[in-house]
């Protein structure tokens, strides 16, 4: 049993609270990603599991056992640090063997055990040929594997990964995602992985917990988080690319509810109307995927006037950030055209696929 549970955990640094009474569970054998912007508390949450931080209130359980009072080394967790935290004076072999040779585990492993375990892990991570090299001479990707290997060397039931692949270059990052996934499939280690990269989280996780400002906004399988964001924050943070969340006034027009979309009144699609049976709110947060945005002729009747805020090439696509009213929406087009910042363009927004959120709470109204 190796599920990880937080029960009403509160953590403060000095007078500042990182999070209050947070509860969370990562079931056994699952791969949980803690996803959130920097400073949201995700790393602290993981360090609480490791035992590098102590909770001020609440309990942390691993495999059903309360571990609050256990030192890190006896919690049966392996951890790979963001900066790898390899022992610079040792070789790859020395780093991998270090946890096995630690005095707390004196006589737990024979030299032969250690050798075979090191070989095994090195083989698994394909760093066997590097074993006798000083870690300081390795590339970032190689160091990352060593760090991972060191976390895995004791076969811990729980594996903690702190931004494990953030510092790698894009190609390596892509490779490592697949590898992490394969590794997890083979080892079935309960894994908590901290990242701020939603692509990474979507790619590797069984479960994603989106965190913001010390709160867990949503926890669920990647598809669910991506498709059905429970809050405007999740909508804006998760997804590839994430939705554009814009705040627009809602009015009662001649033919029903209308959204004042950057000066143009767009009728609220019929299917949404039933969510506003009573007095409609004065504004809505509207989540729009880039695929729902199109550029139209300026003379068209449905044209919304927008200003180019930024433009870049993403892969083979042109991505525009358009200012509409007070908000910004993302547009993607396979057609390459030349734009300059400040250009006025006309666009249309298909609200049929929009997600609506409460303008006050950010909670989802309809996905």
Q: How far is the CB of 147 from another protein (least distance, A)?
A: 9
Residue from 3, 17, 98, 332 binding another protein (CB under 8 A): 98
| 251 touches 265 (CB < 8 A) | yes
CB atoms within 10 A of CB 56: 13
91 interacts with another protein by CB under 8 A: yes
CA separation for the pair 189, 81 (Å, rounded):
17
Residue from 104, 112, 185, 313 binding another protein (CB under 8 A): 104
Instruction: Write down the residue that tokens 């079931």 correspond to.
Output: 27
15 interacts with another protein by CB under 8 A: no
142 interacts with another protein by CB under 8 A: no
Contact range with another protein by CB under 8 A, out of 8-16, 99-107, 212-220, 245-253 = 99-107
Structure tokens at 245: 């969340």
Give 94's contacts (C-beta < 8 A, 6+ positions apart). Answer: 87
159: nearest Cα among 78, 88, 95, 229: 78
87 interacts with another protein by CB under 8 A: yes
Instruction: Write down the residue that tokens 């691993």 correspond to.
Output: 62
Residue from 64, 103, 277, 278 binding another protein (CB under 8 A): 103
DSSP H or E segment with residue 199? helix 198-204
211: nearest Cα among 61, 74, 33: 33
72 interacts with another protein by CB under 8 A: yes
Compare residues 72 and 256 and give the one whose CB is closer to another protein. 72
Q: How far is the CB of 19 from another protein (least distance, A)?
A: 21
CA separation for the pair 304, 322 (Å, rounded):
11
Distances (CA, A) of 162 to 35, 74, 278, 285: 11, 19, 47, 32
Contact range with another protein by CB under 8 A, out of 10-18, 102-110, 120-128, 204-212 = 102-110
272 interacts with another protein by CB under 8 A: no
Structure tokens at 187: 């080892």
Structure tokens at 196: 């701020």
Residues 185-244 that bind another protein (CB under 8 A): none
Residue from 105, 123, 227, 337 binding another protein (CB under 8 A): 105
145 interacts with another protein by CB under 8 A: no
Compare residues 145 and 355 and give the one whose CB is closer to another protein. 145
DSSP H or E segment with residue 84? none
Contact range with another protein by CB under 8 A, out of 17-25, 78-86, 138-146, 232-240 = 78-86
CA separation for the pair 229, 303 (Å, rounded):
28
Residues 153-182 that bind another protein (CB under 8 A): none
Contact range with another protein by CB under 8 A, out of 81-89, 164-172, 265-273, 319-327 = 81-89
Residue from 34, 35, 50, 324 binding another protein (CB under 8 A): 50
DSSP H or E segment with residue 123? helix 111-124
Q: How far is the CB of 90 from another protein (least distance, A)?
A: 5
Compare residues 72 and 140 and give the one whose CB is closer to another protein. 72
What is the DSSP code string of 173-188? HHHHHHHHHHHHHHH-
Enumerate binding residues for another protein (CB under 8 A).
Answer: 50, 52, 71-74, 77-79, 81-83, 85-91, 93-94, 97-99, 101-105, 134, 136, 150
């Amino acid at each position: 049993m190796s599920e990880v549970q937080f029960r009403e955990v509160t953590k403060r640094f000095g007078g500042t609270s990182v999070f209050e009474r947070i509860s969370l569970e990562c079931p056994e054998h699952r791969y949980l990603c803690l996803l959130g912007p920097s400073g949201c508390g995700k790393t602290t949450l993981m360090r609480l599991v490791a035992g590098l931080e102590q909770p001020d209130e609440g309990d942390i359980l691993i495999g059903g056992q309360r571990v609050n009072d256990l030192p890190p080394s006896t919690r049966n967790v392996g951890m790979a640090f963001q900066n790898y935290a390899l022992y610079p004076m040792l070789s790859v072999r020395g780093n991998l063997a270090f946890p096995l040779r630690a005095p707390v585990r004196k006589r737990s492993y024979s030299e032969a055990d250690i050798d075979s375990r090191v070989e095994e892990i090195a083989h698994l991570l394909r760093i066997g040929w590097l074993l006798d090299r000083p870690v300081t001479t390795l590339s970032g990707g190689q160091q990352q594997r060593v760090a991972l290997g060191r976390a895995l060397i004791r076969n811990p039931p729980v594996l903690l990964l702190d931004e494990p692949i953030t510092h790698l270059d894009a190609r390596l990052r892509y490779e490592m995602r697949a590898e992490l996934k394969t590794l997890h499939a083979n080892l079935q280690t309960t894994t908590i992985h901290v990242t701020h990269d939603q692509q990474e989280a979507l790619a590797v996780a069984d479960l994603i917990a989106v965190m913001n400002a010390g709160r867990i906004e949503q926890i669920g399988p990647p598809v669910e988080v991506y498709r059905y964001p429970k809050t405007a924050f999740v909508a804006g943070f998760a997804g590839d690319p994430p939705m554009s969340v814009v705040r627009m006034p809602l009015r009662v027009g001649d033919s029903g509810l209308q959204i004042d979309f950057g000066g143009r009144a767009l009728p609220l699609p019929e299917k949404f109307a039933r969510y506003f049976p009573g007095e409609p709110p004065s504004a809505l947060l509207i989540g729009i995927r880039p695929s729902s945005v199109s550029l139209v002729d300026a003379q068209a009747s449905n044209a919304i006037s927008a200003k180019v805020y930024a433009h870049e090439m993403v892969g083979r696509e042109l991505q525009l950030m358009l200012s509409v009213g007070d908000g910004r929406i993302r547009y993607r087009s396979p057609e390459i055209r030349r734009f300059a910042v400040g250009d006025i363009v006309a666009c249309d927004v298909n609200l049929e696929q929009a997600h609506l959120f409460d303008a006050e709470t950010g909670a989802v109204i309809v996905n």
